[in-house]
Structure 1
Amino acid sequence: MHAFIVGKCYRVVGQLRYMRAVVLKNNEIAFTTEYPLPEPSAGEALVKVSLAGICNTDLELTKGYMGFSGVLGHEFVGTVIGVNSSNKKENDFIGKRVVGEINIPCMVCETCRNMPRHCPSRKVLGISQKDGAFADYLTMPVSNLHVVPDEVPDEDAVFTEPLAACLEVLEQLKITPSNSVAVIGDGKVGLLMAQLMADLGHKTSLIGKHEDRFLIVEELGVETYLPGQMNEKV
């Protein structure tokens, strides 16, 4: 593995290296300082996590969703400190700040020929068969990583994955500039979607249950309503 370590936060015991991690096992969460440091497989990068976001999916996993056991977390930004590859282009990621696509396809099945994100055998970071981002380090295929522009701070970059989910809607629906948009729900994705629609110039309304969150989008001109308040306004 070609690597250098920046501000390492793992400890070495004999021949083993350990890191901090939040681990889910049998639907119970535990924090440990003795989780084995992951070793990147061929074509994978070792990423030092800077920030990780908590998603409602993480909460559902603790209730048994997907039957997942391992390190939680799929929203992250971090720095590549090593790459298990002799490919120069892949090694150019070393030292770069990155975010990642969470679906890891097998790349050998029929589905992967055209729709690798929908691979039935795919691993999903922190959700299915792949340890996630609630740890000091994680591993990801280099092909899943995207370099974060210098002008984008970690606090914004960590929202890349949920923002990508919002952008997927624009690929699934035909929304013209003249369309008004109503977003139902004021959770994280709902708030992001409302901000995105407003930023794209759509007249946007948000229906939610938490008035304390409305200010986040009202500053962008989004009209906000509690359930039952809209009547004939939409």
Structure 2
Amino acid sequence: MQALTLHAGCLAFQADWPAPTPGPDEALIRVTLAGVCSTDLEMVKGYVAGFSGVLGHEFVGVVERTGAAETAEWIGRRVVGSINIGCRRCRVCLGEGPEHCPNRTTLGIHNRDGVFADLVTLPVVNLLPVPQSVADEAAVFTEPLAAALRIREQIKLRPTDRIAVVGPGRLGLLVAQVLALGAGDVVVLGRRPESLALPARLGLRTGLVDEQPDDSADLVVEATGNDAGFAHSLRIVRPQGTLVLKSTFHGNADVNLTKLVVGEIAVRGSRCGPFAPALRLLEASVGGDTAARLGVQVRPLIDAEYLLRDGLRAFDHAARPGARKVLLRPT
């Protein structure tokens, strides 16, 4: 099969990569559309040392077969899938789920081939059916939208909160839309006026991060993917405020952490989130402008679509400053 692989830091297109075989509890899924995210770009830089295999974790596809007769009802269904595969035996898996299982694998990130390929396998328990009304071009956003929703699970938001989302990129725009659905005054902050054009079109309030006063936000979500964004986020959050970190990037942040102590800042890491609510939001967004206000708008975030065989060009595009979502279609 076709696949986009990473080995020893080298990204390559493979025309004859071995096709996977589903285990007894797994499904074999034909990928119809996949999304390139910032984590994929950081993987190429060495974010996860030693990874070798197929990249990618944002996808929508159709189940071709399953490894057991009792799960055959999934065959032919259009699905998305959560990316963490736990052991399902340890205390963490049984109590909280697979996201922090010490023995987990992670789709296209840690010890498991990902979705930049014709075919991928996942445990059936990781699958969710896609509503008929949600097109592939929207369903492919399920994983990053779920990551944005994770903040709503972790942080109790108040209508009076002043919320700043630092980074008007792929994830930041989803985070801002999710937070604007039910909480306070949300502003999207970027470094350049041109980077704020799209969030403004989405109806979000915007501003230049350099112009924001110190200590001006109750909650700051850092989604820039660089240490300069972290420094700005720390500067903007008020004493006893909350700083949510969404970025995953290769390297170490070079910032002064004194304010975390002196200002008694609450810092929250935020990673993977719930897929079912993400699909409900995407379903609510189908229709006209009124329906979109009930959910989130994802199609305006799409920059380009490439065939999988042009995956190297797609990665170059996704790495451009200001690039939004780049999609990969196997055929």
Q: What is the TM-score normalised by the length of structure 1?
A: 0.86
- Specify the alignment match of 2:36 in structure 1: 54
2:51, 2:110 within 8 Å by CA — same for their partners in 1? yes
2:34, 2:115 within 8 Å by CA — same for their partners in 1? yes
Secondary structure in structure 2 of the residue aligned to 1:36: coil
Q: Which amino acid aligns with 1:78?
A: G
Q: Which amino acid aligns with 2:76?
A: G
CA deviation vs aligned residue, 1:165-199 (integer Å, no higher than 9, x gap): 11111111000234332111122111111122223
Which residues of 2 match residues 8-87 of structure 1 at below 5 A? 19-66=1-48, 67-87=50-70
2:191, 2:210 within 8 Å by CA — same for their partners in 1? no
How far does residue 37 in structure 1 lie from its aligned partner after superposition?
0.7
- Specify the alignment match of 1:96 in structure 2: 77
2:168, 2:199 within 8 Å by CA — same for their partners in 1? no
Distance 1:31 1:175 in 2: 44
- Specify the alignment match of 1:225 in structure 2: 207
Distance 1:157 1:180 in 2: 30
RMSD, aligned α-carbons = 1.6
- Specify the alignment match of 2:254 in structure 1: none
Which is further off, 139-148 or 172-181? Answer: 172-181
Matched residue count: 214
Distance 1:190 1:110 in 2: 33
User: Per the alignment, do residues 170 and 201 of structure 1 end up closer, same or farther by CA in structure 2, a change over 3 Å counting?
Assistant: closer
Distance 2:47 2:202 in 1: 35
Q: Which amino acid aligns with 1:63?
A: K
Distance 1:76 1:213 in 2: 26
Distance 1:48 1:83 in 2: 12
CA deviation vs aligned residue, 1:19-54 (integer Å, no higher than 9, x gap): 000010111011011001110011101111111111
Unaligned regions of 5+ residues in structure 1, if any? 1-18
Distance 2:195 2:31 in 1: 28
The alignment-based identity, stated in percent, is: 47
1:22, 1:71 within 8 Å by CA — same for their partners in 2? yes
2:189, 2:196 within 8 Å by CA — same for their partners in 1? no
Distance 1:210 1:23 in 2: 34
Distance 1:166 1:120 in 2: 23
Q: Which amino acid aligns with 1:122?
A: R
Distance 1:157 1:200 in 2: 22
2:161, 2:183 within 8 Å by CA — same for their partners in 1? no
Q: Which amino acid aligns with 2:12?
A: A
Q: Which amino acid aligns with 2:180?
A: A
Q: What is the TM-score normalised by the length of structure 2?
A: 0.62
Q: Which amino acid aligns with 1:49?
A: V
Structure with higher helix content: 2
Corresponding residue to 1:195 among 177, 200, 212: 177
Distance 2:156 2:183 in 1: 15
Query: Quick check: 1:170 aligned with 2:152?
Result: yes
Distance 1:219 1:196 in 2: 16
1:50, 1:79 within 8 Å by CA — same for their partners in 2? yes
Secondary structure in structure 1 of the residue aligned to 2:74: coil
Secondary structure in structure 2 of the residue aligned to 1:120: coil
